[in-house]
Structure 1
Amino acid sequence: MSVQYFEGIGRRKESTARVRVMNGTGKVVVNEKLAAEYFTRMGDMEKVLQPLQATGQELTTYDITVVVKGGGVTGQVDSVQLGLARALVKMNHDYVSMLRKYSLLTRDARIKERKKPGLKRARKAPTYTKR
């Protein structure tokens, strides 16, 4: 038995999420855990499911499975959001304009700046001492 699904890949900072959307009962699974258990911070689940709200879709009609790797909580939340938006576009290309209106299809390219030699971090210099 093969299940028809639509896949989208989202990236943010150091994290990468592979999101699969298929017809189902509204179950959201992230790394083999329920999404509410995986994303425990307040507002994270709303942010993850924002592409569904922007397109006017009901969560109860889809099952969403996510494999997310790398980064911290914020990067993972944003990468799952982008992956879900891209999967919805593969499902129905008419959603592009609705998702663009909320900037849900734009990858946030900001990443950590590399450390420079002679500095403590990317830009922080050692404290200047006169004597």
Structure 2
Amino acid sequence: MSKTIYATGKRKAAIAKVWLTPGSGTMTINGKTLDEWLGGHETLKMKVRLPLEATKQLDSVNIKATTLGGGYSAQADALKHGITKALVAYEESFRTILKPMGLMTRDSRVVERKKPGKKKARRSPQFSKR
């Protein structure tokens, strides 16, 4: 039985669409391997692999993903969230492993909007006595 699981992960303005299938452990993001996609960012690669390593599925599921919006760091976090959601849909017992690690929660922090009379979101114009 070859079932394909789809999940969406989000972080800031980045969205990751993840398709998970049983297989040999290949990971394709935007048509590239993880190493090609993230280059020398080893910490981000570890972050993306974290849900797979926690559930010991690194060599038993194939992941095909597309990311859009935001920067590469936010896209990596969105991908991590999407992989986690896909793993839980694939095997419900993984939830007990991933939930305590804080991987099921979508990081809801987004950029604060700029307010009128301010230079940035909170930065006030410089005070001038004269």
Does the pair score TM above 0.5? yes
**Matched residue count:** 128
- Unpaired segments ≥5 residues, structure 2: none
Q: Does structure 2 retain, via aligned residues, the 8 Å contact 1:54–1:102? A: no
Q: What is the deviation of 1:91? A: 0.5
Deviation at 1:103, TM superposition (A): 0.5
Moved over 3 A (4+): none
What are the residue-to-residue correspondences of 1:1-131 with 2, within 5 Å? 4-40=3-39, 41-57=41-57, 59-131=58-130
Q: Is the 8 A contact 1:15 1:71 kept in 2?
A: yes
Q: Secondary structure at the match of 1:22?
A: strand
CA distance in 1, matches of 2:95, 2:23: 23
Q: Distance in 2 between matches of 1:42 and 1:90?
A: 27
C-alpha RMSD of the superposition? 1.1
Q: Structure 2 counterpart of 1:49, which letter?
A: R
- SS of the residue aligned with 2:67? strand
Give the TM-score taking structure 2 as reference length. 0.94
Post-superposition CA distance 1:56-75 (Å, at most 9, x none): 22x22211011110001211
5+ residue gaps, structure 1, are none
Asked if 2 retains the 8 angstrom alpha-carbon contact of 1:86 and 1:105, the reply is yes
Instruction: Measure, in 2, the Cα distance between the counterparts of 1:7 and 1:50.
Output: 19
Identical amino acids, percent of aligned pairs: 36
